[in-house]
Structure 1
């Protein structure tokens, strides 16, 4: 348990770093289909914007085809130093980002440290804003005090992962979902670090220490400003020939209306609209049965896709999941 004052509410999802060799496909996906603002920085670096922040998604050339880092915006220097002190107290290696690395991410005062599943975690203070008008197919995206969306991760060690985010960011449990997909029973934990219903979702196969997803993240989420934006991006994804993972539906817990497309790197991308905001004075965690009130139906899945998922789960048994024991404690008993 943390003995320092809580940083809950001072932390917000700020940016995501993706490593990919599929720049042309990502440009079409991010700008033309999803509708984000696109900037070419160099032959090996491009960025997407959602708002006045210079960078919300940094794509760098490389073979991973995956998310390699998550950047967290910390409101003030005192909270930043508090998090840094926690890391050092637990004996975790921390590294200061160079001026060039911070500039690529559009931030000041960058610090990085190890995270679960090998996803580097980064914290920063002041984001750099741009006066350049947004060139987007969408009318806008919702960011602000709640951050820019969420990250969903599958894990064979969910209590350790929850313990990690509790130790580092004082994350709070919002709720659970129990779901059965293709005969596999899942328990999904939803963690918040501010008023957004969740910034991290952790999905685990109940009773089996397997991870059925190849990529480090299962999906990323961004929040559309309007229902019209959601519908138009859904249409563009179809028209441009990108795979749709799940059709439009509404979630049981945060009531968000959304769809899931498959990115050029293989993980999924959720565009959502109008999720509820948590009222800290009244909220109590609960368990929901199933991820959706309606919709979110798999699109184009075959028996071969299902068999491949079982194969990936079996392979994960021989590939130990990376954890950060010093920050995970003994996990949190929450089942």
Structure 2
């Protein structure tokens, strides 16, 4: 096997884009543009993109029934690292498909490879993101992307060790820390993984002691980072004024110290707008466990007994179906945590 495939790509990988499948374009248009405050580009009746910065695409919305995230895109700094990751995936017998020219153009990248990921979320490997000449038209003053990538993805899983192993194998993801939390009597353990200086690009939440997944959607939430505290506060106000559901009020997390709130998207998963998380210093950082998700705030907003019962029903149904994993990419180098 090629030795290059084993050299670390940590730091060269960044969350670059997310693909969402939805039929609720009108609601997403209001949510993304008027509430959250991102730049929107309409491509045709079945395609829409949101921008956060100079890159052509950060969120691609395509028409379909899933009402969920269907792919996450990882921008890789150079062709050498891109080919290292490709070699790892191919060497383990996992099918890799080269994206079409149209798919690459929609995502605003030059090179695009697609391969299976946990929970059926396609992983997309990209290089050389394209920039737009069109000035940003958005309500926010800006969003933090750059070397940290554009935010993070949080996923619930009944197979957290396999999921951790997947991102370690493919991207050399490192464990940043854990959070233990009890919500409505259910004990959760959350693993936070980083692929660069951002505290985490992937969060994996699991119910301790029970192989259930309490969330309908493949992702529990997506996160983007506001450039200024004022951007966070104003978007929070707009979400309320426009009538979108708020999941959690403003609060501060125990581990990354990010100030944030969580709104519910038109597709049902949550959307976290955050501000000012810590940046990891690789020379000094050691993983630890935090008790509780938040030092203050992040209190549930609204909700009902019916909604809680639906969540328990979802968890019960998850016992009857096996979570999608990619065993060939999920088994090495990770302690059984």
TM class, shorter-length: over 0.9
Residue 228 of structure 1: SS of its match in structure 2?
helix
Q: Is the 8 A contact 1:162 1:331 kept in 2?
A: no
Point out where structure 1 has 5 or more consecutive residues left out of the alignment. none
Classify 1:14/1:3 alpha carbon distance in 2 versus 1 (closer, same or farther; 3 Å): closer
| Partner in structure 2 of residue 320 of structure 1 | 322
Q: Alpha carbons of 1:162 and 1:4: their partners in 2 closer, same or farther (altered >3 Å)?
A: same
In 2, the alpha carbon distance for the partners of 1:91 and 1:226 equals 45
Q: How far off its partner does 1:333 sit?
A: 2.8
Match for residue 37 of structure 2? 35
CA distance in 2: counterparts of 1:160 and 1:271, whole angstroms: 28
The equivalent residue for 1:87 is: 89
**Equivalent residue number for residue 273 of structure 1:** 275
Report the equivalent of 1:261. 263
Does the Cα contact within 8 Å between 1:192 and 1:198 map onto a contact in 2? Answer: yes
**3-state secondary structure, aligned to 2:317:** helix
Q: What TM-score do you get using the length of structure 2 for normalisation?
A: 0.98
C-alpha distance in 2 between matches for 1:300 and 1:61: 29
Name the counterpart of 2:9: 7
Deviation per CA, 1:67-110, whole angstroms, max 9, x where unpaired? 00000000000000000000111000000001111000000110
Question: How far is 1:3 from its partner?
Answer: 6.6
Structure 2 residue aligned with 1:46: 48
The residue correspondences of 1:166-205 to structure 2 (distance < 5 A) are 166-205=168-207
Name 1:157's counterpart in structure 2.
159
Q: 2 CA distance for matches of 1:4 and 1:205?
A: 32
User: Once the 2 structures are TM-superposed, how far is the Cα of residue 301 of structure 1 from its aligned partner?
Assistant: 1.9
Shift, 1:131, TM fit: 1.3
Q: State the secondary structure of the residue aligned to 2:111.
A: coil
What is the deviation of 1:334?
Answer: 4.4
**2: distance between equivalents of 1:168 and 1:3?**
10
SS of the aligned residue for 2:109 comes to coil
The CA deviation at 1:266 is: 0.1
Whole-angstrom CA distance in 2 between matches of 1:331 and 1:309:
33
Q: Please, what is the CA RMSD of the aligned residues? A: 1.2
Structure 1 consecutive aligned stretches of length 4 or more whose deviation exceeds 6 Å: none
Aligned residue number for residue 76 of structure 1: 78
Cα distance in structure 1, aligned partners of 2:100 and 2:90? 19
**Distance between the aligned counterparts of 1:228 and 1:297, measured in 2?**
21
The 8 Å contact of residues 49 and 56 in structure 1, kept in 2 or not, is answered as yes
**Which of 93, 110, 113 is matched with 2:115 structurally?**
113
For residues 332 and 317 of structure 1, do their structure 2 counterparts lie closer, same or farther at Cα, with a shift above 3 Å needed? same
Deviation (angstroms), 1:4: 1.3
CA contact (8 A) 2:116 2:326 kept: yes
